[in-house]
Structure 1
Amino acid sequence: MSGFEDLEVWMLSRKVCKNIWNFMESTTLNKDFGLKNQMNTSSGSIMDNIAEGYERNGNREFIQFLSIAKASCGELRSQLYRCLDRKHISQKQFDEILPKTILLSKKIGAFMSYLKKSERKGSKFD
Structure 2
Amino acid sequence: MATIRRFEDLTCWQTARAVAQDVYRISKAGEMARDFGLVNQIRRAAGSVMDNIAEGFDRGSRGEFVQFLGFAKGSAGEVKSQLYRAFDQNYLDSATFEALCEKVDNNSRLIKGMLTYLSSSAIKGERYQSLQEPEPLYNTNA
1:106 CA drift (Å) = 1.0
- The yes-or-no answer on 1:39 pairing with 2:42 is yes
1:27 CA drift (Å) = 2.9
- Contact 1:12/1:104, CA 8 A, preserved across alignment: yes
Alignment of 1:92-111 (within 5 A): 92-111=95-114
My pick for the range that moved more, 4-13 or 26-35, is 26-35
- Contact 1:66/1:112, CA 8 A, preserved across alignment: yes
The percentage of counterpart residues that share the same residue type is 38
Select which of 10, 13, 17 maps to 1:10. 13
> Unaligned stretches of 5+ in structure 1?
none
* Structure number, greater radius of gyration: 2
Which position in structure 2 is the counterpart of 1:89? 92
Q: Per residue, is there more helix in 1 or in 2? A: 1
In structure 2, relative to structure 1, the CA distance for the partners of 1:26 and 1:59 (3 Å cut) is same
SS in structure 1 at match of 2:14? helix
Q: TM-score, normalised by structure 1?
A: 0.97
String of CA shifts for 1:87-122, please: whole Å, max 9, x gaps: 111111101111010011011011001001100110
> Unaligned stretches of 5+ in structure 2?
130-142
Could you say what the CA RMSD is over the residues aligned between the two structures, in angstroms? 1.1
Q: TM-score, normalised by structure 2?
A: 0.86
String of CA shifts for 1:58-93, please: whole Å, max 9, x gaps: 000000000000000001100000000001111111
Which position in structure 1 is the counterpart of 2:25? 22
